Amino acid sequence: MKEIKDLIIKENVKMSEYTSYKTGGEVLYYVYPKTIEALQELMSYIFKNNIKYFVIGNGTNIIFTDEFYDGIVINLSKLEEIKIENTIIEVSSGYSLQKLVSEASKLGLTGLEFAAGIPGTIGGATYMNAGAYGSCIFEKIKYVKYLENGEIIKKAKEEVPYGNRYSYFKDNKKAIILSITIELSHEDKNIILDKIKEYTQKRIQTQPLEYPNAGSVFKNPETISAGALIDTKLNLKGKNVGGAYVSEKHANFIINKNNATSNDIIKLIEEIKRVAKQKENIVLQLEQEIIK
């Protein structure tokens, strides 16, 4: 591995320490660029040498397989600049979405309350257009800045394809999100805090937050929510493979209850999909991502 200025390099890291499922095998290199220049130099080295790589945010929406990963995982959490001008915020991809929700509330800026309790980074949230309670991050975005083929590109939201839990970046894995610019609006701080409290309470009541998990496993099919399908139609609450269980609290969550491996989680996903197809003729689509 080439030495690059402002690049922190760790070797033979266990991905179970960097994923919210607490599963995943070892990876050869785990690196943190501290500047965009370091990231640019790293990417040019990676492409020149045809090295396998993966950009990680907070690891809260992924299943990293148990096999050894002979490549580089790039963690952007050191890119965490934030610039606030009145209602406009430019925030780097490594910044925590939770921290942003909290900063905005302190400033009396409304628009991000829906994201209270989504435990990812700005990069991860933009990549999958994270959302809840009828809102999503792209609704607030004005511009996205990203690195593609060595070039820094800034595009208005209208020029970037996005949709339900989808963005351009899902189909263009070579593009790395650097920052987003969002626009919020002024509101009474107490009203904002009340909303955040309400959403947080809802999550505590309905989601199995006491166990390692990675949020919703499947996208909602057209006719029924994935949770209701798995619970009432497929009767799979509590079903397990090894240490991975379908949560009793929310059937669209898989929890790592007892030292699960990624393989357990993947096998349980396959089983749920199989039963959904067999019993209801529904093809479930994965919301989480399996990284090999």
Instruction: Work out whether the CA dihedral 154, 108, 187, 201 comes out positive or negative.
Output: positive
In this structure, what token pair is assigned to residue 88? 């406009």
Q: Which of 24, 33, 111, 120 binds ligand FAD (CB under 6 A)?
A: 120
Taking the least distance from each CB to ligand FAD, the nearer of 57 and 229 is 57
Q: Which is nearer to ligand FAD, 121 or 240 (CB)?
A: 121
As measured in angstroms, the least distance from the Cβ of 186 to ligand FAD is 25
Binding mask 206-225 for ligand FAD (x = CB under 6 A): -x-x---xxx----------
Separation CA 22–CA 243 (nearest Å) = 12
Rounded Cα distance, 245 and 267, in Å: 11
In terms of C-beta density within 10 A (0-12 exposed, 13-18 middle, 19 or more buried), how is residue 237 classed? middle
Tokens of 284: 């479930």
Rule CB under 6 A: choose which of 13, 55, 268, 269 binds ligand FAD: 55
Reference 57, options 28, 95, 21, 26; nearest CA is 95
d(CA 246, CA 256): 9
Using CA atoms, how far apart are residues 217 and 213, in angstroms rounded to an integer? 9
In the bound complex, what is the minimum distance in angstroms from residue 62's beta carbon to ligand FAD?
4
- Position among 31, 43, 112, 125 found at the interface with ligand FAD (CB under 6 A): 125
From the candidates 90, 187, 287, 289, which is the catalytic residue? Answer: 287
- For position 59 contacting ligand FAD by CB under 6 A, the verdict is yes
Residue placing its CB nearer to ligand FAD in the complex, 145 or 189: 145
Catalytic residue IDs: 165, 216, 287
Residue ranges in contact with ligand FAD by CB under 6 A: 20, 54-62, 76, 93, 118-121, 123-125, 127-128, 130-132, 169, 176-177, 207, 209, 213-215, 289
